Amino acid sequence: MKKALLDTNIVSAFIRGQEVVLSYARNYLQFHERFTLSTITYYEIMRGIKDISSRKKDNIFRDFISECELIDFDRCIADKAAEIYSSLRRKGMLVEDADILIAATALEHDLNMVTGNTRHFMRIEGLILENWLE
C-alpha cells in the first residue's frame, strides 16, 4: 500500500469517528507508521475549530496531529500548484486554491491523495485518488 496524503474532509471524518474512515485508517496503519497531512489541511481544520470555538475539538485534533507527519508548504509545492492552477484554468476546470495546494503537496511528494471529494481532485493530472468515504 502506497503512502498517502489525507485531505481535510477525511481528517474531519476521522476526528468525528466516522466508521468507514476509521476502518480504512486502521488498514492503512498496518502498512504505515503514521498519517501524512499538508499544512494546508492543518490550517483548514484549525480554521474550523477556531470558528466554532470548540476546546474539545481543538484537543482532539491536537492529539491526532501530534501523531502525524505534517508536510510544510514550500517553494517546490508552490511551483507545482501554479502548474496545476494554470492547467485547470486553461481547461475551464478550476477548483479551490486549498485543493490545488493539497494536490500539489501529494504530487510533489509522490503520495496518493485520500479524499471524499474525488470530483474535484480527479481533474488534476497524475494524482492517484483513494476515497475513504465509500
CB contact set of 23 (below 8 Å; sequence gap of 6+)? none
Q: Which of 46, 20, 33, 30 is nearest to 114 (CA)?
A: 20
* Whether the predicted pLDDT of 105 surpasses 90: yes
Q: What is the pLDDT of residue 54?
A: 84
What is the rounded average pLDDT for all residues in the chain?
96
Q: What is the pLDDT of residue 1?
A: 86
How do residues 28-47 score in pLDDT, each as one tens digit? 999 999 999 999 999 999 99
State residue 4 phi and psi, 5-degree precision: -135, 160
**Residues, the chain, total?**
134
How do residues 53-93 score in pLDDT, each as one tens digit? 888 889 999 999 999 999 999 999 999 999 999 999 999 99
Q: Which of 38, 33, 31, 36 is nearest to 2 (CA)?
A: 31
Q: Where are the domains of the chain?
A: 4-130
Can you spell out the DSSP letters for 18-36?
-HHHHHHHHHHHTT-SS-E
CATH topology classification for 4-130: Rossmann fold (3.40.50)
How do residues 11-28 score in pLDDT, each as one tens digit? 999 989 999 999 999 999
Summarize the confidence of residues 104-125 as an average pLDDT. 96
* Whether the predicted pLDDT of 94 surpasses 90: yes
Whole-number Å distance between alpha carbons of 122 and 17: 26
Q: Where are the alpha helices (DSSP H) in the chain?
A: 8-16, 19-29, 39-52, 55-65, 75-91, 97-108, 118-121
Q: What is the pLDDT of residue 74?
A: 98
Question: Hunting for cell 507545482 — which residue is that?
Answer: 80
Q: What is the pLDDT of residue 9?
A: 97
